Structure 1
Amino acid sequence: MTVQDVRAFNRFYTGLIGALDHGRRLYAPYTLTEARVLYELAQVPHLDAADVRTLLDLDAGYLSRILNRFEETGLIERGPSQSDPRRRRVRLTARGQEAAGLLDERARERVGALLDTVAPADRPRLAEAMRTIQDILGEPRAAFREIALREPRPGDLGWIVQRNAALYAAEYGWNADYEGLVARIVADFAEDHDPHLERVWIAERGSQPVGCVMCVRDEAPGAARLRLLLVEPEARGHGIGDRLVGAVIDFARGVGYRELVLWTNDVLGAARRIYQRHGFVLAAEKPHRSFGRDLVGQDWRLDLHTSDE
């Protein structure tokens, strides 16, 4: 491959994208960059302004002007960051979500029209070529954008049990007692849960699950319990754990829980730091022997009426 090959492909791709926006109506009334900012905010509900700047490689001043305009027109609201009080969290309002949805609908229509010109037999080859370019030339931060949070599909609950057992055995030497505990938690959820008050999230990259978390009712009235947060080793460092915990918090607050609680062990330092970033407070800790190891169990709590605002 030569430089000329890359430049030729770039000219072709730029022309193709321009054809998609025939009449310059695809992003109206926004610029292309403004549309990209709206798209990122719609994909990831918990983003700081610094995250948006990194994802889109934007100048800080330029992004600030865009966000100021969005705030003035009621598309976003800003507040203290969950992870760093020096940062500002950015969240789409209902009006902003509507605007992002309209842009997404337009884009889907244009891309759909383009794909209609591709023979069905050629589409798998085209998709594979696109994935190959992304895999070879993509930057590490792209992995953050590619993560989707979804509800579990058949087989996913079994995956949660298997991956928890395998990872905790490999990383901390925990024995089969832990697998038994996870299996009971998952089985209880599968057999009897209220979908309006309890939920499981699977973090997926491509077609592969790379993380999970659960929100279930706690024994204490008005309290929900966060359980089984897990991120695969190769997917760590991209904010997936933060997104999973943020999804639980939003859900628990949205359905009316007053408090979110969890139990963990002091050896799980990375998870503990995520909980602290989201405002959880250590309520109690106690030594115990479980899973074949001497551990220190910890109870953490989050007051859903006072945090995040």
Structure 2
Amino acid sequence: MTINGVDDQIAAVRAFNRFYTRKLGVLDQHLGQSPFSLSEARVLYELAHRDDASAKEIGNELGLDPGYLSRIVQSFDEQGLITRTPLPADRRQYQLSLTAKGRQAFAKLNLGSQNEVAAMLARLSAGDAARLTQAMATIQAVLEQRRSQPASVVLRSHRVGDMGWVISKQGAAYAADYGWDISYEALVAEICAQFIKSYDAAREHCWIAELNGEPVGSVFLVKATDEIAKLRLLQVEKKARGLGVGRVLVEQCIRGARERGYKRMTLWTQSILVAARGIYKSAGFELVATKPHHSFGHDLVGETWEMDL
């Protein structure tokens, strides 16, 4: 009886897996209209959400054959999508990072995937869509292994010297990650200077995140109108990414806006900033407008996100 029950469960899982992969179209050789195979897209996703991961780590995470992964990495390198740096401990292994071109390719792929899923959900009633996503959340919760708790993050108010740190780190990070030119650093400097000149302690604030006494992130709450607050200059250093620092900063900024009596909150970001967009969405922000523009040496798509407080 038990054996038959287990066999039935195995058959049910396998049947669902076949149905689900067929439904989402992931058995196709390429995803949608993109030039990437499913495995290539998975590698791109890992690189977009992990900083300086080694090829071996990604292979282990995705269960890819080393030879197959090596061909993917070589192809990405030839297309200018990644950089490869030999690991000091083992020169045969490489750290992989997306170039600005690679991040743009991922952003396009990610947007296409979002649109495909949105189209699928649009065919369902609101009730069925809710049942579907709740069932998916249940599956994930049951199967996901327990993860370690995020590192302890200490938030403090800004002090003398912090604005220079923010300007330097923002400029360097966006130049390295996305290839933005020095005009972005100039914009950050203007924002920081204006924040200090017109600082209203009752309506505005800057939080600096620290790990082990070292600054690793920042976020600004500034006044847009008497009722609308603006979130600006969210930044997390590479060494602290993946530890929940960005989420903690955004949640504190939202909490700070509510405490100061704002009714609504807004922010402006770019479509290629995938990790930040994910934090904003999970925190309750909604995308309300998009507009292409040419800034910081690149063609970008600016996005306005808002949320009621």
TM-score, normalisation: structure 1: 0.52
Q: Which amino acid aligns with 2:236?
A: V
Contact 1:261 1:301 in 2 (8 A): yes
What are the ranges of 5 or more consecutive residues in structure 1 without an aligned counterpart? 1-83, 88-139, 305-309
Written as runs of structure 1 = structure 2, the 5 A alignment for 1:39-58 is none
Q: Give the structure 1 partner of residue 160 of structure 2.
A: 154
The percent identity for this pair of structures is 47
Q: Which amino acid aligns with 1:272?
A: R
**Pairing 1:194–2:200 present:** yes
In 1: Cα distance, 2:303 partner to 2:281 partner: 13
Q: Give the structure 2 partner of residue 288 of structure 1.
A: 293
Q: Pick from 245, 265, 277 the counterpart of residue 240 of structure 1.
A: 245
Written as runs of structure 1 = structure 2, the 5 A alignment for 1:249-260 is 249-260=254-265
1:143 Cα offset (Å) = 5.9
1:204 Cα offset (Å) = 0.5
Structure 2 residue matching 1:203: 3-state secondary structure: strand
CA offsets 1:230-284 (integer angstroms, 9 cap, x no match)? 0001101111101000001101011110000000000000000000001100010
CA offsets 1:16-72 (integer angstroms, 9 cap, x no match)? xxxxxxxxxxxxxxxxxxxxxxxxxxxxxxxxxxxxxxxxxxxxxxxxxxxxxxxxx
Q: Give the structure 1 partner of residue 280 of structure 2.
A: 275
- Between the two proteins, the alignment pairs up a number of residues equal to 167
In 2: Cα distance, 1:182 partner to 1:201 partner: 16
In 2: Cα distance, 1:157 partner to 1:141 partner: 33
TM-score, normalisation: structure 2: 0.52
Contact 1:168 1:174 in 2 (8 A): yes
- Aligned CA-pair RMSD: 1.9
Contact 1:141 1:238 in 2 (8 A): no
Q: Which amino acid aligns with 1:296?
A: V
Q: Give the structure 2 partner of residue 35 of structure 1.
A: none
Structure 2 residue matching 1:144: 3-state secondary structure: coil
Q: Which amino acid aligns with 2:256?
A: F
Q: Give the structure 1 partner of residue 108 of structure 2.
A: none
Written as runs of structure 1 = structure 2, the 5 A alignment for 1:52-201 is 141=148, 144-145=151-152, 147-201=153-207
What are the ranges of 5 or more consecutive residues in structure 2 without an aligned counterpart? 1-133, 139-146
CA offsets 1:83-121 (integer angstroms, 9 cap, x no match)? x9979xxxxxxxxxxxxxxxxxxxxxxxxxxxxxxxxxx
Moved over 2 A (4+): 84-87, 140-143
In 1: Cα distance, 2:150 partner to 2:267 partner: 28
In 1: Cα distance, 2:284 partner to 2:181 partner: 31
Contact 2:150 2:244 in 1 (8 A): no
1:154 Cα offset (Å) = 1.3
Q: Pick from 189, 202, 205 the counterpart of residue 211 of structure 2.
A: 205
